[in-house]
Amino acid sequence: MLKIKGMGLDTETVADLVEEIAGKDVIELVELIKGKEHVSEFKIADKLGVTVNQVRNMLYRLYSYNLVSFIRKKDKKKGWYIYYWTFDQKKGYDLFLKIKKEKLELLKKRLENETQKSYFACPNECIRLNLENSMEYDFKCPDCGNVLDQEDNSRRVSALEREITETNRQIEKPYVEDKPKRKPRKKPVKRKPAKKKATPKRKPAKKKAVKRKPPRKKPVKKATSKSKTPKKKPKTKRKPAKRKSRSK
Ligand SMILES: [Zn+2]
């Protein structure tokens, strides 16, 4: 699992997009793998508390929109392939924009209809018709026969206007960087200790090797000192032995 540097999708955008295209149940999965590379499907299943098949089902829904890619590696012990998944945040963002822009166009058309046309509704809330269709039914409800009232659609208009404002906000929202609060908490626990352990081991090994080289020159000097000591010792040993033999 590697973290992808740079920009990403914020939580709100992910939730909005993923619910739209893949379903609410996939939001948590995307939040989990977002900003990482090659996440094992077994790890995803483990963290979400679902089966690997359920994870694959969710990922295939994203895959159909080309939002995830995978690599596979053969598990040497078990003999099967494990898939490692990566969520493409840029493609996710592009799709998010496309969906929002289409929605905006639809909302604008609906607002245009509401402000430029008259609508008539049954007091029993059976039906709502535009002027043309109301004339066809002689301004009577086709379901209950009540006379249709001209509708005050100011609430609908203001609701549409609010939705347009909100959609515009989402479209203009910058492609923000991932919230650093969540990820560094999870990652440093697993990664930093591994790096710290790996690097100190290598560096001292190099230093020791450097230190060992100069001492090799010293043993040459020691060899001379060694040659001196053996000469002295045999003399001291031999002398007492000679004295003892002489005294006897
Ligand atoms: Zn009616």
- Domain boundary at 156, 172, 188, which? 172
In a domain, 178, yes or no: no
Compute, in angstroms, the gap from residue 139 CA to the centroid of ligand 1.
11
Judge whether 129 and 120 are in contact, CB under 8 Å. Answer: yes
In a domain, 185, yes or no: no
Q: What is the pLDDT of residue 44?
A: 97
Compute, in angstroms, the gap from residue 113 CA to the centroid of ligand 1.
23
Neighbours of 167 (CB within 10 A): 20
Q: For the chain, list residues with pLDDT below 50.
A: 179-187, 189-192, 194-213, 215, 217-248
Q: How far apart are CA 86 and CA 66, in angstroms?
A: 11
Q: How far apart are CA 1 and CA 187, in angstroms?
A: 10
In terms of residues, how long is the chain?
A: 248
pTM: 0.63
Q: What is the pLDDT of residue 68?
A: 97
Domains identified in the chain, total number: 2
Amino acid sitting at position 72: R
Compute, in angstroms, the gap from residue 136 CA to the centroid of ligand 1.
15
Q: Which two tokens stand for residue 225?
A: 């000192």
In a domain, 235, yes or no: no
In a domain, 159, yes or no: yes
Residues around ligand 1, an ion, CB closer than 5 A: 122, 124, 126, 141, 143-144, 146
In a domain, 211, yes or no: no
Handedness of CA 34, 37, 40, 46 (dihedral sign): negative
- Domain boundary at 145, 172, 199, which? 172
Q: What is the pLDDT of residue 196?
A: 47
Q: What is the pLDDT of residues 110-157, one digit of tens each?
A: 999 999 999 999 999 999 999 999 999 999 999 999 999 999 999 999
Compute, in angstroms, the gap from residue 146 CA to the centroid of ligand 1.
6
Which residue from 113, 111, 106, 52 is spatially nearest to 84, judged by alpha carbons? 52
- Residue 24 is classified by DSSP as G
Q: What is the pLDDT of residue 174?
A: 80
Compute, in angstroms, the gap from residue 108 CA to the centroid of ligand 1.
29
Radius of gyration of the chain (CA): 39
Q: How far apart are CA 123 and CA 127, in angstroms?
A: 9
Compute, in angstroms, the gap from residue 158 CA to the centroid of ligand 1.
25
Alpha helix ranges (H) inside the chain: 11-21, 27-33, 41-48, 52-63, 89-116, 131-136, 154-172, 182-190, 192-247
Burial (CB count <10 Å: 0-12, 13-18, 19+), residue 146? middle
The residue with tokens 């007091």 is: 123
In a domain, 217, yes or no: no
Domain holding 68, by residue range, is 2-87
Q: What is the pLDDT of residue 234?
A: 47
Q: What is the pLDDT of residue 173?
A: 85
Compute, in angstroms, the gap from residue 147 CA to the centroid of ligand 1.
8
